[in-house]
């Protein structure tokens, strides 16, 4: 399934960086992505898009960091309630 992003995505800060930072299990990549998200001019739109997608109960779900929030993979989601703020993940991984 292909998901069409809105026009907001053209203004996203992340388009200048490696996409795999936002879909990585590596703590350094997640930290880099979180710092870019924190300064992104469309963070709200990105998060709203991901949350609407997550809430839609579509066959596929967002995975990775969207709008500063980590959406776990389906495997990870089994052990968690749902999306969690990336700042909490980065802080926990740094400890």
Domain containing residue 53 = 42-95
CA distances from 5 to 25, 32, 35, 46 (A): 23, 22, 21, 9
More confident call, 2 vs 53: 53
Q: Residue 2 falls within a domain, yes or no?
A: no
* Of residues 15, 12, 21, the one with CA closest to residue 90: 21
What is the total count of domains within the chain? Answer: 1
Q: What is the pLDDT of residues 21-65, one digit of tens each?
A: 998 888 899 889 989 999 999 999 998 888 888 787 666 677 788
pTM (2 d.p.): 0.71
Mean pLDDT rounded to a whole number for the chain: 78
Q: Residue 7 falls within a domain, yes or no?
A: no
Q: Residue 20 falls within a domain, yes or no?
A: no
Q: Ramachandran region of residue 64, left (φ > 0), alpha (ψ -120 to 50) or beta?
A: left
Do 68 and 41 form a contact (C-beta atoms < 8 A)?
no
Q: Residue 36 falls within a domain, yes or no?
A: no
Q: Is the pLDDT of residue 14 over 80?
A: yes
Q: Is the pLDDT of residue 85 over 90?
A: no
Q: Residue 22 falls within a domain, yes or no?
A: no
Q: Residue 37 falls within a domain, yes or no?
A: no
CA distance 12 to 83: 20
Q: Residue 85 falls within a domain, yes or no?
A: yes
pLDDT at 18: 94
């Amino acid at each position: 399934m292909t998901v069409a992003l809105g026009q907001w995505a053209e203004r996203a800060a992340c388009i200048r960086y490696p996409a795999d930072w936002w879909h990585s299990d590596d703590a350094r990549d997640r930290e880099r992505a979180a710092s870019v998200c924190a300064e992104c001019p469309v963070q709200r739109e990105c998060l709203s898009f991901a949350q609407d997608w997550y809430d839609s109960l579509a066959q596929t779900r967002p995975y990775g960091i969207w709008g500063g929030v980590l959406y776990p993979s389906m495997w990870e989601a089994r052990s968690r309630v749902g999306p969690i703020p990336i700042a909490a993940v980065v802080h926990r991984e740094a400890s």
